[in-house]
């Protein structure tokens, strides 16, 4: 049987929570030696703006997972997640059917064969200046069943409310 696939690609274009105060999460790096400072000085800065902090990033992912669970209760979800942000991850991102990975490629290739329905959330939101991400987000929905046109629309709407175009 051939898997049905729907895809979406968007870009975060503004602060996702414009009417809420945002906690500045800049932290002092533990730079203590000349070598520490030298290495840090060689990091490149992203040409893309920082619109989201780690806490807001987790909130966007949490909202997407909640929406996906409503739309497809038995779906398996892969979420690409960067290095942990030094805070608790929302509980729904730790559900049995949600897999958090930094490199999703191999797992996506395996699960697309074995799972009836699979959602991949792959974002590259710039959370700090040295992330070198491009503020893009991609959704891929695979299913053994025929997908209605616009099956991803509830998730796209969720992203659009957060400034993704």
Does 40 reside within a domain?
Answer: yes
pLDDT cut 90: percent of the chain above it: 71
Q: Is residue 51 part of a domain?
A: yes
Q: 10: closest CA among 158, 148, 149, 151?
A: 158
Q: For the chain, how many structural domains are there in total?
A: 1
Domain contains 95:
yes
Contact criterion met (CB below 8 Å) for 100 and 93? yes
pLDDT digits 0-9 by tens, 10-51? 999 999 998 888 766 556 667 889 998 888 788 888 889 999
Question: Do residues 118 and 76 lie in contact, with contact meaning Cβ atoms separated by under 8 Å?
Answer: yes
pLDDT at 59: 96
Q: Using alpha carbons only, how large is the chain's radius of gyration in Å?
A: 17
Residue 22 lies in a domain: no
Q: Which domain holds residue 71?
A: 4-16+27-161
Is 135 inside any structural domain? Answer: yes
The arithmetic mean of pLDDT across residues 78-104, rounded, is 90
Task: Give the model confidence (pLDDT) of 98-109 as tens digits.
Answer: 999 999 999 999
For residue 40, what pLDDT is reported?
Answer: 78
How far out from the chain centre does Cα 138 lie?
8
- CB 75 within 8 Å of CB 69: yes
Average pLDDT of the chain is 91
Q: Is residue 21 part of a domain?
A: no
């Amino acid at each position: 049987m051939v898997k049905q696939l729907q895809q979406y690609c968007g870009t975060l274009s503004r602060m996702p929570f414009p009417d809420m105060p945002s906690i500045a999460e800049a932290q002092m790096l533990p730079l203590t030696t000349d070598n520490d400072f030298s290495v840090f000085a060689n990091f490149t800065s992203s040409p893309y703006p920082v619109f989201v902090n780690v806490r807001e990033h987790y909130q966007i992912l949490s909202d997407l997972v909640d929406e996906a669970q409503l739309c497809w209760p038995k779906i398996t979800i892969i979420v690409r997640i960067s290095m942990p942000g030094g805070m608790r991850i929302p509980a729904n991102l730790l559900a049995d059917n949600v897999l958090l990975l930094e490199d999703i490629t191999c797992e996506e290739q395996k699960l697309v064969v074995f799972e009836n329905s699979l959602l991949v959330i792959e974002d590259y939101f710039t959370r700090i200046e040295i992330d070198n991400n491009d503020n893009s987000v991609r959704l891929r929905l695979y299913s053994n069943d025929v997908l209605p046109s616009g099956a991803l629309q509830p998730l796209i709407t969720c992203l659009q409310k957060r400034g993704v175009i």
